[in-house]
């Protein structure tokens, strides 16, 4: 497992570099927006990766609520944390694209607002995990995660259900995309998915180790309450 990590890390770095080359050089320039449309190759795969991670968070939270397995709780925490990072990328790259195309950085449009609300829900989930020391924290967090996950399909389908300034889905929504653009989009999604998997893996190992150390500290203070400074 430890030997596989650096190999996968190198392969992911190569894949990310290849995806960047595809996005900047190989993908054709879009007719209306010009080069700024290339932001799409980072914005959309980041959004899809965030949605997948929030879905993993939902699954792990439900599993934790049923089985009470600590590993499921760690998976839920890690996927929410990495998902928030990807959602942050979406919320930052979106306005950078909107400024030259729409002429504004932000509008209180349904897709943009619901994405911001989704981000705030998962940030509050992480705050709950970080600052609550109660033994009930994993259960409360899992319940919050289940409610937060309900927001994900709402964000995704908001551009179908509401009149919105956000571009319509270029796949499956009656729109179309040049096959070369689709190819580059999928390569970037694959690269970001591999990157997210590696980050989740390292974060999972870190969290498992942290919990073992916390248990060792608790044991140490039980065995020698006077000698313990923690």
Partner 1 sequence: MPWNRCWTPAGARDERKDRMSNNGYLFAAYAATWIIHIVYLGTIVSRYSRLKREIEDLKKPAVRS
- In the window 74-103, what residues touch partner 1 (CB under 8 A)? 82, 85, 88-89, 92-93, 96-97, 99-100
Of 147 and 213, the one with the shorter C-beta distance to partner 1 is: 213
Residue 45 · residue 96 · CB < 8 Å: no
The size of the interface with partner 1 (CB under 8 A), counted in residues, is 50
Region of 59-67, 112-120, 146-154, 167-175 interacting with partner 1 (CB under 8 A): 167-175
Region of 67-75, 116-124, 133-141, 164-172 interacting with partner 1 (CB under 8 A): 164-172
Rounded to a whole number of angstroms, the minimum distance from the CB of residue 157 to partner 1 is 16
Binding-site member from 177, 186, 190, 197 for partner 1 (CB under 8 A):
177
Of 68 and 173, the one with the shorter C-beta distance to partner 1 is: 173
Residue 150 · residue 144 · CB < 8 Å: no
Q: One symbol per residue from 22 to 51: x for binding partner 1 (CB under 8 A), - otherwise; what is it?
A: ------xxxxxxxxxxxx--xx--x-----
Residue 142 · residue 76 · CB < 8 Å: yes
> What is the distance between the alpha carbons of residues 76 and 56, in angstroms, rounded to a whole number?
7
Of 67 and 222, the one with the shorter C-beta distance to partner 1 is: 222
* Listed residue (92, 120, 117, 118) closest to 106, CA to CA: 92
Rounded to a whole number of angstroms, the minimum distance from the CB of residue 91 to partner 1 is 10
Rounded to a whole number of angstroms, the minimum distance from the CB of residue 97 to partner 1 is 6
Of 43 and 129, the one with the shorter C-beta distance to partner 1 is: 43
> What is the distance between the alpha carbons of residues 35 and 216, in angstroms, rounded to a whole number?
54
Residue 9: both structure tokens together: 């890390």
Q: For residue 69, give Cα distances in angstroms to 73, 138, 139.
A: 7, 11, 11
Tell me which residue has tokens 């897709």: 111
**DSSP code for 26:** I
The full 3-state SS of 58-112, as one line of letters, equals: HHHHHHHHHHCCHHHHHHHHHHHHHHHHHHHHHHHHHHHHHHHHHCCCCCCCHHH
Of 40 and 64, the one with the shorter C-beta distance to partner 1 is: 40
Q: Which residues bind partner 1 (CB under 8 A)?
A: 20, 28-39, 42-43, 46, 82, 85, 88-89, 92-93, 96-97, 99-100, 166-168, 170, 173-178, 180-181, 195, 199, 202-203, 206, 209-210, 213, 216-217, 220, 227
């Amino acid at each position: 497992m430890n030997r596989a990590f650096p190999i996968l890390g190198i392969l992911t770095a190569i894949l990310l570099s290849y995806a960047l080359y595809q996005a900047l050089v190989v993908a054709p320039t879009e007719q209306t927006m010009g080069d700024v449309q290339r932001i799409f190759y980072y914005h959309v795969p980041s959004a899809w990766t965030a949605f997948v991670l929030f879905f993993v968070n939902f699954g792990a939270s439900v599993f934790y609520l049923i089985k009470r397995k600590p590993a499921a709780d760690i998976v839920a925490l890690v996927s929410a944390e990495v998902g928030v990072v990807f959602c942050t990328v979406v919320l930052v790259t979106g306005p950078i694209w909107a400024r030259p195309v729409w002429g504004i950085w932000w509008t209180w449009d349904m897709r943009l607002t619901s994405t911001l609300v989704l981000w705030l829900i998962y940030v509050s989930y992480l705050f709950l995990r970080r600052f609550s020391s109660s033994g009930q924290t994993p259960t409360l967090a899992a319940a919050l995660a289940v409610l937060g996950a309900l927001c994900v399909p709402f964000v995704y389908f908001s551009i179908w259900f509401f009149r919105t300034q956000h571009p319509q889905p270029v796949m499956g929504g009656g729109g179309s995309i040049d096959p070369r653009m689709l190819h580059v989009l999928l390569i970037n999604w694959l690269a970001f998915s591999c990157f997210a998997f590696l980050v989740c893996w390292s974060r999972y190992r870190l969290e498992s180790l942290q919990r073992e150390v916390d248990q060792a500290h608790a044991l140490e203070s039980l065995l020698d309450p006077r000698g313990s400074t923690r």
